[in-house]
Amino acid sequence: MDPKATYIPALRFSFLTRLYDPLMRVTLKEEKFKRKLVEQASIQSGQRVLDLGPRPLNSGGLDTWMRQS
């Protein structure tokens, strides 16, 4: 099967793909969500965290947020 035939770009249309991240940032409040998630995890120095998110899709870098807190 041809991968291009089954690929559906973000927001369904290729010309909208460049708007995906800004739109998600505004509508999903990603920064607020990640901040709350890191706070609730209460990760202490020396503890290990297993990040199961797929790397190509991880545009926000939750691991970076955890290191900064």
| More confident of the two residues 13 and 4 | 13
| More confident of the two residues 60 and 35 | 35
Rounded CA separation 45/59 (Å): 25
The model's pTM = 0.48
Q: Is the pLDDT of residue 60 over 70?
A: no
What pLDDT is stored for residue 10 in this prediction? 74
pLDDT of 13-47, one tens digit each? 888 888 887 888 788 887 788 888 888 988 888 88
Burial state string for 19-52 with b = 16 or more CB within 10 A and e = fewer than 16? eeeeeeeeeeeeeeebeeebeeeeeeeeeeeeee
Domain boundaries, the chain: 3-68
